[in-house]
A and B are shown apart, each in its own frame.
Chain A
Amino acid sequence: MRLRPFLTSLLLSALVARGLGADADALWAGKVRPLFDLHCVKCHGPLEHKGGLELDTPEAALKGGDEGEVVVPGNPEKSRIFLALAPGADPHMPPKKQLTDAEREMVREWIAAMSAAPAKSATRATNVPRAFATVEQAVDTWVAEGWERRSMAPAAPVDDRTWCRRVYLDLVGRIPTAAESAAFLQAPGGADRRALVETLLASDGYPVRMRELWDVFLMGRPKRDNHEDRRRQNGWWTFLEDAFRLERAWDETVRRMLVARPESEADRGASWFLYERRNDHQAIAEAVAPVVYGTRIDCAQCHDHPLAREIKQAHYWGLVAAYNRSKNIDGGSSVAESAVGGFVNFTNLKKESQPAVVTLLGGRTVEEKRPADGEKPEDRDDLYVDPKAKARVPKSSRREAFADAATRGNPLLARAFVNRMWAALLGRGIVHPADELNARNVPSHPELLDWLAQDFASHRHDIRRLVRGIVLSRPYALGATEAAPEAFAGASERPLSAEQLARSWRVAAGLTPDEDALRKAVVAAIPEVMPKDYNATFQQAQFLTRSPALGEILKPVASGTVARLAALPDPAARVREAFLAAHDRMPDADEAAQAVALLAGRSDAPADGVRDLLWALLTSAESLTMP
């Protein structure tokens, strides 16, 4: 079908890129691409291709332009692109600038590093699909091959205790209690990771944890105070949780969200994805794109995407058109749709105007008869399934047509989900950033991504299958590393989300994990989920220091842990127990000494001392990150 060649070409281009030689690859990514992006791509790229030459990928550079090749691999002195950079060259590039000697050297180096014949290492033809018994086997195999190719050794795996903590946080959003941890570690026959994963996936905590993650991915953090309440009251949370709890196929969940015509009371949250956006059709388009394509397309509002060449302005406005006949019905969460109207034009920076047609990335369009200029088709009853219904459904519904096209036979849907879930569990997508799955960003493990997406799609878009496979894999279980993160040779640092923190604090304090006041307070202070750059603000420091909600759980009356520890006979014991409660480990000598010194300062009021000790443990970096 039409979308397959698109995917294959993505794959092929990644292969060819590798075949240019690892050095050339690194030089391209690190030096030459940013240089070309800055000085060349504007005229020789997706938006404009002067002389038929494009320079936004190595393949395009190799292809050359109207006047033939500009790059001779391995031979910069014969490469017209390099010659044109020299001062006084004719033709001279860039036309009105002169690159520095250092910059020209980068280009020379890159061309020199290219091998004449591509695909040395890519001889392992990927046209023969590889078979794996399990998802984790596929992950293990390809990631290990990646280590080999990069000549790096993976970090040592973490122990069972740490792995248990990690998987609890990822699957049910909190650290395990001491009892849960003990049950896992001391099971007769040894720690059974597979069984734990099954138990957690089947538990009540799993759909809640996934909902928390995907609510942020799909809707963002609530902007106004009452947004959380409205999401909950209008069934959005239930709808999302059901997707995970009832093991609904992801494509079906997305379809329900995009069509927004819930067929049962239980499902009424499906329309909230659209409803909350208050008829802001552009905002809807910008929210739908990452879900169905895996990439944001915000840049394509005013012009074709300047760097990701497959994203055109037509796609942006095509998405807007899919939704601009839709309108919220007041008092509820239903979204009506008109059978007429919504024919817009969009203009690019050159003021060229084009009609917006419902268009998907990959080229599919929804055909429609466009009214003639000035003609206004009548909004007749017979255009609707039930003209008397409050939320009228047109017989020919744009958003339904779009939802169908986007969730059936759209391989990007599976890729997008797989990449995002991978990023959530490993700290970084196979394509990075995780919401920029486009031609600009090369997957670190392209065959793995293809395989996972294909596997996901061919197994009913089964989320549990994917999650299970990732958390049981070898890369997931590794310790910290200094190596480049895209190799997955070790665990990347992952800050906990606010919900994970709030629940874990309560568990450490000997309380039940779920409580709204603390959760809301932490969410307000630390709203980011998977931030690209971790930036602790002094306001967050203020929150950790002064939050009444956090102070509450450390009161001896409330906290089981504080009371229990205060009753212990000696400071050393209290310190050990405190570390066990917070980090499930013993303190080392230095830590113990410092902690005992703190308690000594409050020997008059042991509960206060324990409270302060626990506070320091719960707000230290170890409690704020994944183990």
Chain B
Amino acid sequence: MKLTLGHDHKLPTGVLGLAIASDAARAFATCADGTVHSVDLADGKAEAFEEKHGSFASGCVLLPDGQTLISGGYDGQLLWHDTATRRCRLRVRAHAFWSWQLALSPDGQRLASTTGQYVAGGWRYEPAAETEPSVKVFDTLTGRAVAEFVHTPPVLSSAFSPEGRYLAAANMLGEVRVWDLWSGGDGKPVARWTSPDFTSWGTTKTHHYCGGIYGLAFSPDGNVLLGCGMGPMGDPMAGNGKMTWQRWDWRKGEKIDQIKDGQHGSGLMESVAWHPDGAHFVMAGRQAQGTWNAALFSATDGALLHSLDTKKRITHARFAADGRSLILAGANGQPQRKDGVWPAWGRVQVYQVET
């Protein structure tokens, strides 16, 4: 399997959230200036939605009928947009703090948003307990919150299982919790484990935690959970932890495998996604040192099959529904202001997937 660059488009500010229309001709990007854009993937023409977030627009999901886009932001708000008119029809205050990431159940009926501020809770800067529910689930039709779950903040990522029954969410300390949405029970997780390989506690310049699991995805058969982030660094200011993904048998909370030695560079990986064929997955992020920042892996043995260095930070990687293209969204390093103008730093790229 190989990836070749098809299109490369710019947006004014860094792209922090991405959703793709089912025909993969159009993408929706949420950006660092709070704006939401509809992007024609062929010619790169971007049209801004009417309403924006008051802070970083961190994510968006497109409902299956393609008519509604829900965006979330660091303003804690969820916005429902009509994709045709680009108007906002609903605004829900989801959290007091940020919505770090959104996840949509495969049937499009449930939206998960995770939150949580890292606040010192102990002598060694262990995170303090949550002051609001870290994980919330909303009905995508009405915008009503239908479930809330407890986690240790900040909770950075979440994912629904293929049948929509289970919701997994992971935090900065590398702890993953999985809840059964259908059981209607006491809200306790049905599975819970911590991976030590995604969090740093400084030993050099700083003593605080840093890191986390930034991307989660269930395998197509629902038995395995895939997560990505960055390995531990002695100096949390270095950003040079190992590019890491791990797969877990989530029911047992056990690690199955992880990225192979020698196949990784260093840097934060922010996104994992499965190829529709179920036999491959992609991981992407930012390269601190190494040769790639996006790579395709075999689902069978986790071996790296193909890699790319797009020379920027990737925040989201998504395969088109037909598996023939991969859309990578992200940001360059924000350029300096020149003559009063801030150059564009958001990017959306389309790669052709060749098998």
Query: Of A54-62, A214-222, A339-347, A505-513, which binds chain B?
Result: A339-347
The verdict on A569 contacting chain B, using a C-beta distance below 8 Å, is no
Distance A351 CA – B334 CA, assembled complex (angstroms): 11
Distance A353 CA – B289 CA, assembled complex (angstroms): 9
Across the interface, do B289 and A374 meet the contact criterion of CB distance under 8 Å?
no
Across the interface, do B309 and A346 meet the contact criterion of CB distance under 8 Å?
no
Across the interface, do B333 and A351 meet the contact criterion of CB distance under 8 Å?
yes
Docked complex: A327-386 residues within 8 A CB-CB of B: 338, 341, 343-347, 351, 353, 373-374, 376
| Interface residues of chain A: helix, strand, loop or mixed (majority) | loop
Across the interface, do B289 and A344 meet the contact criterion of CB distance under 8 Å?
yes
Docked complex: B312-355 residues within 8 A CB-CB of A: 332-333
Q: B272-304, CB under 8 A of A: which get 1 and which 0?
A: 000000000000000101110000000000001
Across the interface, do A351 and B311 meet the contact criterion of CB distance under 8 Å?
yes
Across the interface, do A373 and B289 meet the contact criterion of CB distance under 8 Å?
no
Q: Which of A344, A351, A374 contacts B290 (CB 8 A)?
A: A344
Distance A353 CA – B293 CA, assembled complex (angstroms): 13
Q: B68-95, CB under 8 A of A: which get 1 and which 0?
A: 0000000000000000000000000000
The verdict on B122 contacting chain A, using a C-beta distance below 8 Å, is no
Across the interface, do A343 and B291 meet the contact criterion of CB distance under 8 Å?
yes
Distance A341 CA – B307 CA, assembled complex (angstroms): 14
The verdict on B165 contacting chain A, using a C-beta distance below 8 Å, is no
Smallest distance from the beta carbon of A67 to chain B beta carbons, Å? 26
Across the interface, do B304 and A376 meet the contact criterion of CB distance under 8 Å?
yes
The verdict on B116 contacting chain A, using a C-beta distance below 8 Å, is no
- For residue B290, which residue of chain A has the nearest CB? A344
Docked complex: B250-276 residues within 8 A CB-CB of A: 262, 265
The verdict on B306 contacting chain A, using a C-beta distance below 8 Å, is yes
Across the interface, do B265 and A344 meet the contact criterion of CB distance under 8 Å?
yes
Q: Which of A338, A341, A346 contacts B289 (CB 8 A)?
A: A346
User: Which B residues are CB-close (under 8 A) to A374?
Assistant: 2, 306-308
Distance A351 CA – B286 CA, assembled complex (angstroms): 12
Distance A351 CA – B308 CA, assembled complex (angstroms): 16
- For residue B307, which residue of chain A has the nearest CB? A374
Across the interface, do A345 and B333 meet the contact criterion of CB distance under 8 Å?
no
Given contacts A338-B262, A374-B2, contact A345 B309 (CB under 8 A): yes
- For residue A355, which residue of chain B has the nearest CB? B291
Q: Which of A341, A353, A373 contacts B262 (CB 8 A)?
A: A341
- For residue B312, which residue of chain A has the nearest CB? A351
Distance A338 CA – B261 CA, assembled complex (angstroms): 12
User: Which A residues are CB-close (under 8 A) to B308?
Assistant: 374
Across the interface, do B290 and A345 meet the contact criterion of CB distance under 8 Å?
yes
- For residue B203, which residue of chain A has the nearest CB? A223
Q: A263-300, CB under 8 A of B: which get 1 and which 0?
A: 00000000000000000000000000000000000000
The interface centre, meaning the residue of B265, B291, B333 with most chain A CB atoms within 10 A of its CB, is B291
Given contacts A345-B290, A346-B289, contact A353 B309 (CB under 8 A): yes
Docked complex: B1-21 residues within 8 A CB-CB of A: 2
Distance A346 CA – B311 CA, assembled complex (angstroms): 11
- For residue B261, which residue of chain A has the nearest CB? A327
Interface size class of B (residues with CB under 8 A): 10 to 19
User: Which A residues are CB-close (under 8 A) to B333?
Assistant: 351
Distance A343 CA – B304 CA, assembled complex (angstroms): 15
Q: B208-228, CB under 8 A of A: which get 1 and which 0?
A: 000000000000000000000
Across the interface, do B307 and A353 meet the contact criterion of CB distance under 8 Å?
no
User: Which B residues are CB-close (under 8 A) to A343?
Assistant: 291
Across the interface, do B265 and A353 meet the contact criterion of CB distance under 8 Å?
no
Distance A212 CA – B268 CA, assembled complex (angstroms): 41
Distance A275 CA – B246 CA, assembled complex (angstroms): 27
Distance A345 CA – B311 CA, assembled complex (angstroms): 11
Across the interface, do A344 and B304 meet the contact criterion of CB distance under 8 Å?
no
- For residue B304, which residue of chain A has the nearest CB? A376
Distance A353 CA – B306 CA, assembled complex (angstroms): 20
Distance A374 CA – B308 CA, assembled complex (angstroms): 7
Given contacts A345-B289, A345-B290, contact A373 B309 (CB under 8 A): yes
Smallest distance from the beta carbon of A584 to chain B beta carbons, Å? 45
- For residue A320, which residue of chain B has the nearest CB? B289
User: Which B residues are CB-close (under 8 A) to A346?
Assistant: 289
User: Which A residues are CB-close (under 8 A) to B291?
Assistant: 343-345, 373
User: Which A residues are CB-close (under 8 A) to B289?
Assistant: 344-347
User: Which A residues are CB-close (under 8 A) to B265?
Assistant: 344
User: Which A residues are CB-close (under 8 A) to B304?
Assistant: 376
- For residue B311, which residue of chain A has the nearest CB? A353
- For residue B266, which residue of chain A has the nearest CB? A344
Smallest distance from the beta carbon of A293 to chain B beta carbons, Å? 22
Distance A376 CA – B291 CA, assembled complex (angstroms): 12
User: Which A residues are CB-close (under 8 A) to B262?
Assistant: 338, 341
- For residue A317, which residue of chain B has the nearest CB? B289
- For residue A371, which residue of chain B has the nearest CB? B291
Docked complex: A516-568 residues within 8 A CB-CB of B: none
User: Which B residues are CB-close (under 8 A) to A353?
Assistant: 309, 311
- For residue B332, which residue of chain A has the nearest CB? A351
User: Which B residues are CB-close (under 8 A) to A376?
Assistant: 304
Distance A344 CA – B240 CA, assembled complex (angstroms): 13
Distance A343 CA – B265 CA, assembled complex (angstroms): 10
The interface centre, meaning the residue of A344, A373, A374, A376 with most chain B CB atoms within 10 A of its CB, is A374
Distance A374 CA – B309 CA, assembled complex (angstroms): 9
Distance A347 CA – B288 CA, assembled complex (angstroms): 8
User: Which A residues are CB-close (under 8 A) to B307?
Assistant: 373-374
Distance A376 CA – B2 CA, assembled complex (angstroms): 13
Smallest distance from the beta carbon of B293 to chain A beta carbons, Å? 10
Smallest distance from the beta carbon of A224 to chain B beta carbons, Å? 11
- For residue B333, which residue of chain A has the nearest CB? A351
User: Which A residues are CB-close (under 8 A) to B309?
Assistant: 345, 353, 373
Smallest distance from the beta carbon of B6 to chain A beta carbons, Å? 16
User: Which B residues are CB-close (under 8 A) to A347?
Assistant: 287, 289
Distance A344 CA – B267 CA, assembled complex (angstroms): 13
Docked complex: B171-195 residues within 8 A CB-CB of A: none
Smallest distance from the beta carbon of A605 to chain B beta carbons, Å? 47
- For residue A282, which residue of chain B has the nearest CB? B240
User: Which B residues are CB-close (under 8 A) to A351?
Assistant: 311, 332-333
Distance A346 CA – B307 CA, assembled complex (angstroms): 17
Distance A84 CA – B306 CA, assembled complex (angstroms): 55
User: Which B residues are CB-close (under 8 A) to A345?
Assistant: 287, 289-291, 309
- For residue B265, which residue of chain A has the nearest CB? A344
User: Which B residues are CB-close (under 8 A) to A344?
Assistant: 265, 289-291
Distance A297 CA – B306 CA, assembled complex (angstroms): 34
- For residue A283, which residue of chain B has the nearest CB? B234
Distance A405 CA – B97 CA, assembled complex (angstroms): 57
Distance A343 CA – B262 CA, assembled complex (angstroms): 10
User: Which A residues are CB-close (under 8 A) to B287?
Assistant: 345, 347
Smallest distance from the beta carbon of B306 to chain A beta carbons, Å? 5
- For residue A280, which residue of chain B has the nearest CB? B234
Distance A374 CA – B306 CA, assembled complex (angstroms): 5
Distance A338 CA – B262 CA, assembled complex (angstroms): 10
User: Nearest 3 pairs between A and B by C-beta?
Assistant: A341-B262, A374-B306, A344-B289
Question: Can you list 22 residue pairs at the A/B interface with Cβ under 8 Å?
Answer: A338-B262, A341-B262, A344-B265, A344-B289, A344-B291, A345-B290, A345-B291, A345-B309, A346-B289, A347-B287, A347-B289, A351-B311, A351-B332, A351-B333, A353-B311, A373-B307, A373-B309, A374-B2, A374-B306, A374-B307, A374-B308, A376-B304
Supply 13 further A-B pairs (C-beta < 8 A) apart from A344-B290, A347-B287, A374-B2.
Answer: A343-B291, A344-B265, A344-B289, A345-B287, A345-B289, A345-B309, A346-B289, A347-B289, A351-B311, A351-B333, A353-B311, A374-B306, A376-B304
